[in-house]
Structure 1
Amino acid sequence: MAICNVFYNYCSNNNIELKEGNFILSYDTNIPRQAGLSGSSAIVCAALNCLLDFYKVRHLVKVEIRPSLILSAENELGIVAGLQDRVAQVYGGLVHMDFSKENMDRLGHGIYTPMDINLLPPLYLIYAENPSDSGKVHSTVRKRWLDGDEFIISSMEEVASIAHVGREALIEKNYAELFKLMNRNFDLRRKMFGDDVLGALNIKMVEVARGVGAAAKFTGSGGAVVAFCPEGPEQVKLLQEACHESGFIVQPLLVVPSVLKEEDLISISSDS
C-alpha cells in the first residue's frame, strides 16, 4: 500500500528506527461508498494507525504531521484531495483547523485545535442510496486556484473565515449564527463549483433540508449533507419525512470524542 511506502520514507528521513518483523494488513469498512464521507482516506488513516502501533513509534510521529502523510499516500494513487478530512480522522471529535499561509509556511502544516464535542447542537446526516462520485467536485476549482483566479481565492478566504467565526459561534453556543454560516458555506461552494460539477442529486439533498427550514451544507466535497434543525424535534420530523419522500437516508449525526491516546498528545509540537 502507498501508506506503507510513505510511512517508511518518513521514518527513514527522520531517523526513526523500525523494528524487524512482518505483518498482514487487511481492512473492512462500513462507511457508505462514494457518499462524500471520506471512506478511502479513513482506510488509509486506519492503516497508518496500525503501522504506528505495530512499530511502536506513535510517540515519534507527531500528530499534526499524520494528516500530511495520509494525503501523500493518496496523492501517490492519483487522488486529488485536501487535508481537512485527514485532520478530522487523525484527531477525531471536533477540530478547528487553521490553514493560513503563515502557519503552513512556518510549520509545514496547519494549526489543529480540538474542541469539546458538547458544543455542537444536534446534527443530521443525509446521503443518497445511489451516490454519485464525490471526487468530481474538485475538477476545475483546484486549477483555477493554482492559476490565481481572484474569485476562487476570495471565496476560499471567506470559507476559511467562516471556520473561524463558526468556532466562536460554537464556543458561545450561538446556534443562530451557526445556522447562517452553514448555509453560507454551501452557497459559496455552489458559486465556485457550479451546479454541473456539484451534481443535481447533491444539490437536491441540500434543497430538501432547506425546504423544511433546516441549515444544510456538504459534509465535505459532496455526496452527503449535514443538516441542523434549529426549531427542534418537530422540524427534525419534517426533515425525516422530506428525505424519505425524496429517497434519501437521514440519520442523527454521532460525533465521537477525540481518538488520540496519551502518547499521541505528548507528540503534539509545543510550537503548534
Structure 2
Amino acid sequence: MATDKNAAIEHKAYARVGLLGNPSDVYYGRTISFSLGNFWAGVRLEPSKDLVIVPHPTHDLVQFDSLPHLVNRLQSDGYYGGVRLLMAICKRFHEYCKGNGISLHDRNFTMSYDTNIPRQTGLSGSSAIVCAALSCLLDFYQVRHLIKVEVRPSLILNAEKELGIVAGLQDRVAQVYGGLIYMDFNKKIIEDLGHGEYIPMDVGLLPPLYLIYAENPSDSGKVHSTVQQRWLNGDQFIISSMEEIANIALEGRTALIEKDYAKLGSLMNRNFDLRRQMFGDNALGTLNIEMIEVARCVGAATKFTGSGGAAIVFCPDGDSQVQLLEDACKKACFVFEPVQVIPSLLNEIDRGTMSTR
C-alpha cells in the first residue's frame, strides 16, 4: 500500500486463459483459469488537483486524418476504448464504498492506462483494464484491507455490465487472484456468500501450454446470447451440456493435482466439442474453428481461451509435436506463442481479507 500520498500508483492485470469449464461460469458451473503473463493491461494513478481520466493515444483515438479514416477505424475497432472502463469502475467503486460505510478521502487523481492484450481474442482485455484500475483505487484511498478479495471480481463485472458488456465472473476472478485458480459458481454458494468459491492451485501443476490466436479475430462478446436464452427457457440439451462442462472442470482439477496430462488433454477437447454442439458453427465462426482444427491436425489438445479469437493448446507428444504445431500455425497465418503463467498476485493485505471458509 502506498504510504506517500503524493506518490504515483501503478498496477498491472494480466490476460487470462479459461483452461477448463468455460462458459459454465455464467450458468452456476465450475471453471479453471490462469493468468497469462504474455499480455497485460497497466493503470497509473497520480494525485492531482482535478480528477482526470486520460484518453489513450491509440485506443481512445478521437482525432482522425479524414472521415473515411474515422469510419474505417470504427469498422475495425468499434467504439470501444478504455476511458469508459475507467469511468465505470470509479463509479462502481464509489457506490460500493458508500453503500458499505467505507469513507473515502476527498483528494483527486489523474488516471491513465496502457494495454498490449490483443483485441477480440477472448483474453479478457477489457476486464484487465478495470481490474488494474480497481487495484489503484484500493491503494489510493487506502481501503485494500476493507474490500474482500472475493468481492472484487463482482465489482469489476458490475462496472463492465454498466457498459453493456456481457460476461461472467471467471475472467475477473482469475485477474484479481492471479496464478491458477479453480472456481465453483454453485448457485447455493453464490446465494449464501454473495460470490463463488475460489481455490488457488499451484501453477507448477500445469504442463507446458501454447497459445494460438488470429491477428484479426471475430468479436468474442456475441457468442453467449442464444445459448443463454435457451438455458433460461429450460432447454434440456443446453442444461445437461453445461452441467457436463462444469464437471469437466471438476475432473480437470483432479487431473492437474495427479498430473494426469493425458486426461487433461481429453477434457480440453471434450470442453470444446460440447461448446461447438451448443453454439453451432455459425456462432463460433469459420476462423475460430480453423484455429482449433490447426491444432488438432497435429494431434494436440485444444479449446478456446474464452469465447473465441484465441485457443489454448497442449501437446502431449512433446517438442516434436510443438514444432509441428508451430509450422501449422505459420502456414495458417495464426500467431503461435509458448504460454507464460503468472503466479498469484495477492499480497499480505489481500490474503488477510479472504474468507477462511
TM bucket (normalised to shorter chain) is: over 0.9
What is the TM-score with the length of structure 2 in the denominator?
Answer: 0.75
Matches of 2:179 and 2:93 in 1, distance apart?
24
* Pairs within 5 Å for 1:186-265: 186-265=272-351
Identity %: 70
Tell me by how many angstroms 1:198 deviates: 0.5
Question: How far has the Cα of 1:146 moved from its partner?
Answer: 1.9
Which range is displaced more, 147-156 or 63-72? 147-156
> How far apart, CA to CA, are the structure 2 residues paired with 1:216 and 1:42?
24
Q: Which residue of 2 aligns with 1:139?
A: 225
More strand by proportion, 1 or 2? 2
Q: Aligned equivalents of 1:146 and 1:268: distance in 2?
A: 32
Partner of 1:119 in structure 2?
205
Segment drifting more, 173-182 vs 146-155: 146-155
Aligned-partner residue type, residue 197 of structure 1: A
Tell me the CA shift for residue 264 of structure 1.
Answer: 0.3
**Cα deviation, residue 260, structure 1:** 0.7
Q: CA deviation at 1:142?
A: 1.5
State the partner residue of 2:214: 128
Q: TM-score, normalised by structure 1?
A: 0.98
> Which blocks of at least 5 consecutive residues in structure 1 are unaligned?
none
User: Structure 2: which amino acid aligns with 1:210?
Assistant: R
Matching residue of 1:6: 92
Letter in 1 for 2:156: I
CA distance in structure 2 between the partners assigned to 1:94 and 1:83 by the alignment: 15
Aligned to 2:115: 29
CA drift of 1:141 comes to: 1.2
3-state DSSP of counterpart to 1:87: helix
Cα distance in 1 between the residues matched to 2:251 and 2:188: 19
Instruction: Return the offset for 1:270.
Output: 2.0
Aligned to 2:165: 79
Counterpart of 1:72, as a letter, is: N
How far apart in 1 are the matches of 2:229 and 2:108? 41
Amino acid at match of 2:95: N
Tell me which amino acid in the other structure corresponds to 1:105.
E
Letter in 2 for 1:209: A
Q: Deviation digits for residues 34-67 of structure 1, max 9, x if unmatched? A: 1111101111111111111111111111001111
Aligned counterpart, 2:355: 269
1:114 counterpart SS class: strand
Find the structure with the greater CA-based Rg: 2
Q: Distance in 1 between matches of 2:282 and 2:213?
A: 19
Letter in 2 for 1:245: K
CA distance in 2, matches of 1:31, 1:54: 25
SS at match of 1:137: coil
Partner AA of 2:306 in structure 1: G
- Corresponding position of 1:176: 262
Partners of 1:115 and 1:94 in 2: CA distance? 5
Matches within 5 A, 1:60-79: 60-79=146-165
Give the number of aligned pairs: 271
Aligned partner of 1:41 among 119, 122, 127: 127
Structure 1 residues 170-219: Cα deviation after superposition (integer angstroms, max 9, x where no partner):
00000010011000100011011100001010111011000000000000
CA distance in 1, matches of 2:264, 2:218: 28
Task: Compute the displacement of 1:109 (Å).
Answer: 0.9
Q: Secondary structure at the match of 1:148?
A: coil
**SS of alignment partner, residue 199 of structure 2:** strand
Letter in 2 for 1:138: H
One-letter amino acid matched to 2:199: T
> What is the rounded CA distance, in whole Å, between the counterparts of 2:294 and 2:303 in structure 1?
11
What residue is the counterpart of 1:109 in the other structure?
A: 195
Query: Structure 1: which 4+ aligned runs deviate by more than 4 Å?
Result: none
Higher helix share: 1
State the alpha-carbon separation in 1 of the partners of residues 168 and 233 from structure 2: 17
The residue number in structure 2 matching 1:51 is 137
